[in-house]
Structure 1
Amino acid sequence: MPLRLILLGPPASGKGTQGRRIAEREGLAYLSTGALLREALEQGGTLSEEIRPILARGGYIADGTMCQILEPWLQTHHATGWVLDGFPRTLVQDNFLRDWLAKVDCEVDAAVALDVPKEDLIARIHDRVECPDCRWSGRRCDSVAGRCPKCGGPAGPRADDDLDNFLHRFDEFVLHAVPVIERYAGLDRLIRAEATGGIEVVADGIREQIQRFIQDGQEA
C-alpha cells in the first residue's frame, strides 16, 4: 500500500527540503502548501487578494479556504501515496483530511514532525533563498551568483522571511499545528525527527525512522 505522510514543523525547519527527499526516496507525490500559496499570489485574482494580507503578516489561511485549495490535488493523488508539506496545520484541517480520506477508504499513515530550536530557525531565515521559477529553496551559498542551481532562475530571499513575520508564524505554529502533532502522537502515528544536522544526515535519519515505523506496523 502506498504511504500517505504529513510533514509538520515550524517555519524554516526544512519541511520543503526534507519533504521532497522523502517523496523521492519513497516514490510518493509531493505537495508544498507554501509553494502552492505563493503561486496563487503570483497568479493574481480573487484568491490572491484574499490571502495576500494574511500571508504578509504571517497568519494562517482560513481552514475552509485551505481545504478547498487542497481537495482537487487530493482527488488526483489519493491512490498513489503522497507527502503533504504544511497541511494539515490545524485540527480543523486534519479533521477535513481524515474525513476526506475515509470516504475513499484511506487514512494518514504517519505524521513526521521536524524538531529545530527556535534560535536555529531564526538563523536559517536570514540565510534562506528560493527560486520563483522552479520553487527550489536553499541557502545563499547554494546559489550561484544569485541564480538557482537547479534551473538558473533568480534565487533571492522569500518575501515572508523577515523576523517579525517569522515570529508571528512561529507563534501560529505553536498555537495551531502543535495540537495536530500531539494528536498523531496520541494515535502512535508520529515520527519525530531531529532536524538540526546536515540535510543528508537529517534525510537519512528520517528514512530510517519511516522504515522502522513501517516494519513495526507490519509486525503489529
Structure 2
Amino acid sequence: MPLRVVLLGPPASGKGTQGRRLAEAAGVAYLSTGALLREAVEELTPLGLQAKPILDRGGYLPDDLMCGILGEWLARHPDGWVLDGFPRSVPQAEFLERWLGDHDQALDRVIALDVPMEELLHRIQARVECPECRWSGQATQASGDRCPVCGSTVSRREDDDEENFRSRHAAYSRYTLPLVDFYDQRGLLSHQNATASADEVAGVIHRLFFPSAVSG
C-alpha cells in the first residue's frame, strides 16, 4: 500500500530532515513546498516572481495558487508521498482531503513535530541549505561546507534571519496550527517531540510505520 503522510511543524522543527528520511525508508516521493518555492524564486519563474515578495516578508502564498501547484504534483505521484509544507491552512487541508477522495486515495497519518521557540531560534542560527539538491540541516551535519547528499557547497538560507523567522512562525501559528485540531478530529494526528537528535526522532517516526524495523 502506498504511504501518504503529512508533516506539520513550525519553521526549523526538522520537517525536511524527517520528511526525507521517512520518504526514503518508505520508497515514496518527498516534497518540500518551501524548497520548491525557493527554487522558483532563484530561477525567476512566473511562480517565483509572484512568490518572492510574499516570501521575503515571511508570508504564505494564496491558497488557490498553492492548491493548484500541489494538485499537479500529487497527480504525478500516485504511488505515495511525504509532504513537508503542505497543507499550511485549513482551506489547503480541505483541498487535499477532497483531492484524495476524488482520486480514491487516503491520508495515512499526520505527524506534528513539537519544538519550543527557544530551540527553534537556536536552530536557525546554524541552519544551512544546499542550492543543488535542496538538502537542509544544521551546519554540523554538513561535511565542512559540503552537502552530505550531493557534495555541493551549502550556505545559510536568506530567510533565516530572526525577524523573518519570527514572521514565519507567527504565520504558522495563525494559519497552520489550527490543522492540529483539524487532523486530530479525523483520528490521523500523532504528536512527536522533535527536540531530540535527528536520529532519535527518525527512529520513533519510522517505528510508527515499520514496527518491526530498526531505524538507523
Task: Name the TM-score class by shorter chain.
Answer: over 0.9
Q: Which structure has greater helix proportion? A: 1
User: Aligned equivalents of 1:191 and 1:210: distance in 2?
Assistant: 12
Kindly provide the amino acid, as one letter, of the partner of residue 124 in structure 2. Answer: I
**1:42 corresponds to 2:45:** no
Give yes or no for the alignment of 1:207 onto 2:206. yes
| Counterpart AA for 2:68 | Q
Letter in 1 for 2:70: L
RMSD after superposition: 1.3
CA distance in 2, matches of 1:73, 1:67: 10
Output the amino acid matched with 1:20.
R
The aligned residue for residue 163 of structure 1 is: 162
2:140 is equivalent to residue 141 of structure 1: yes
Mapped partners of 1:100, 1:142: distance in 2? 37
Match for residue 215 of structure 1? none
1:191 and 2:190 aligned: yes
* Structure 1 unaligned spans of 5+: 213-220
Residue 134 of structure 1: how far off its partner (Å): 1.1
Match of 2:108 in 1: 109
Aligned to 1:94: 93
Deviation at 1:107, TM superposition (A): 1.7
C-alpha deviation, 1:142, in angstroms: 2.5
Deviations 1:25-55, CA, capped at 9 Å, x for gaps: 2222111111111111122132222110110
Aligned position for 1:53: 53
- Find the counterpart in structure 1 of residue 126 from structure 2: 127
Deviates more, 1:165-174 or 1:133-142: 133-142
User: Following the alignment from structure 2 to structure 1, what is the Cα–Cα distance between the partners of residues 171 and 94?
Assistant: 18
Kept after mapping to 2: 8 A contact 1:8/1:113: yes
Q: Distance in 2 between matches of 1:45 and 1:29?
A: 23
**Distance (whole Å) between structure 2 residues aligned to residue 69 and residue 58 of structure 1:** 19
In 2, distance between residues paired with 1:55 and 1:70?
A: 18
Contact 1:128 1:138 in 2 (8 A): yes
Contact conserved, 1:6 with 1:85, CA < 8 A, in 2? Answer: yes
Query: CA 1:211–1:153 in structure 2 vs 1: closer, same or farther (change >3 Å)?
Result: closer
Equivalent residues of 1:12, 1:124 under 8 A apart: yes
1:32 — aligned with what?
A: 32
Paired positions, count:
211
CA distance in 1, matches of 2:209, 2:65: 31
Deviation at 1:136, TM superposition (A): 1.4
State how far apart, in whole Å, the 1-side matches of 2:113 and 2:145 are.
Answer: 28
SS of residue in 1 equivalent to 2:76: helix
Separation in structure 2 between the aligned mates of residue 106 and residue 50 of structure 1, nearest angstrom: 31
Q: Are residues 1:82 and 2:81 paired?
A: yes
Shift of 1:145: 3.5
1:218 maps to none
Deviating more after overlay: 10-19 vs 186-195: 186-195
Deviation at 1:75, TM superposition (A): 0.4
| CA positional deviation for 1:211 | 4.6
Q: Which moved more, 1:23-32 or 1:12-21?
A: 23-32
C-alpha contact (below 8 Å) 1:191/1:210 kept by paired residues: no
Single out whichever of 54-63 and 149-158 deviates more from structure 2.
149-158
1:10 aligns with 2:5: no
Distance 2:209 2:193 in 1: 13
Identity of aligned residues (%): 50
